Structure 1
Amino acid sequence: MGIRSVLEANFDFEIIDEFLDHYAMMMEILEPLIIDLGNSDRYQRSIEELFRIFHNIKSASGYLQIQPMVRLSTFVEDALEQLRTRDKVVNEETITWFISVSDMFLQWQEDFKMDNELSKIHFSLLILPDMENA
């Protein structure tokens, strides 16, 4: 039984549809926001928007009891919290890590569409890059 079937067995169809619609909208803007972390003019806006996105994913996936999404979005939210207090752009390694995180969430979006089991979190995503050296 795939992830969508599991959700449909436990939650109202409208709630699932709303989650997937919002999730799709967030996925569309994720990569441009990540790339903007390297742009000093857009850094602060991008970091705040990324924090909001991952906080929303964490909250919604928590309600829907999608534990892998809760765990990864919490981990990413914590990393973003560290970066929120900075006013300098992030390094390439950090941008690459965030792109990899984005790819994982895009894979999960595909898992929802295809009603597959959720793909396993790639171990490399659980190792934070050196975010201190820009």
Structure 2
Amino acid sequence: MGVKSDLDSTFDYEIVDEFLEHYSMMVDSMDVMIIDLSKPSMYELSISELFRVFHNIKSASAYLKITPMTKLAAFVEDALENIKTNYPSVNEETINWLLEISDMFNTWKNDLRVDNELSHIKFSLLKLPDLENN
């Protein structure tokens, strides 16, 4: 029995189904927004949209008690808030870190789809990139 089975046994099917549908759309959109951070004309919109995506994942996963997802989304949301507030652009290291974050959330999307337990968070994701080196 995997995480989806646990969710189905605890929450109404419609709530779980809606979460999975929205989560999938958010994860599928992450990479484009992350790559767009490197484009000066897209930076502001992309950083704001990424922040919104991670905020929504954090909130929904907290409601469903998916703790690892909630914790990583909160960590990334805090990092994005710092970046958004203090940096007019991001460097390649930050973009690569965010792409690895996206990969983790995509792995979880697949774990949910096939009803596995959630894969463990890669510890390298918990080390913030060097934001000063732009």
TM range (shorter): over 0.9
* Cα offset, 1:87, TM superposition: 5.4
**Unmatched tracts of structure 2, length 5 or more:** none
Q: Does the CA-based 8 Å contact 1:4-1:112 persist in structure 2?
A: yes
Q: Determine the structure 1 residue equivalent to 2:93.
A: 93
Change (3 A) 1:40 1:86: farther
> Map of 1:87-126 to 2, 5 A cutoff?
88-126=88-126
Post-superposition Cα deviations, 1:23-52, rounded to whole Å, max 9, x if no partner, equal 111112100000111111100000000000
CA RMSD of the aligned region, Å?
0.8
Equivalenced residues, count: 134
Matched residues in 2 for 1:105 and 1:11: separation? 21
Give the CA deviation at 1:11: 0.3
Moved over 4 A (4+): none
Q: Provide the residue aligned with 2:60 in structure 1.
A: 60
What stretches of structure 1 of length at least 5 have no aligned partner? none
- The residue type equivalent to 1:13 in the other structure is Y
Asked if the contact 1:97/1:125 (under 8 Å) is kept, the reply is yes
| Residue 39 in structure 1 maps to residue 44 in structure 2 | no
CA deviation vs aligned residue, 1:2-27 (integer Å, no higher than 9, x gap)? 00000011000000000001011111
Q: Which amino acid aligns with 2:120?
A: K
**Identity, % of aligned positions:** 57
The residue aligned with 1:15 is: 15
Write the distance in 2 (CA, Å) between the matches of 1:87 and 1:117. Answer: 37
Deviation at 1:113, TM superposition (A): 0.5
TM-score by length of 2: 0.97
Q: Check whether the contact 1:24–1:109 (CA below 8 A) recurs between aligned residues.
A: yes
Q: Which moved more, 1:100-109 or 1:80-89?
A: 80-89
CA offsets 1:81-133 (integer angstroms, 9 cap, x no match): 00112452200000000000000000000000000000000000000000121
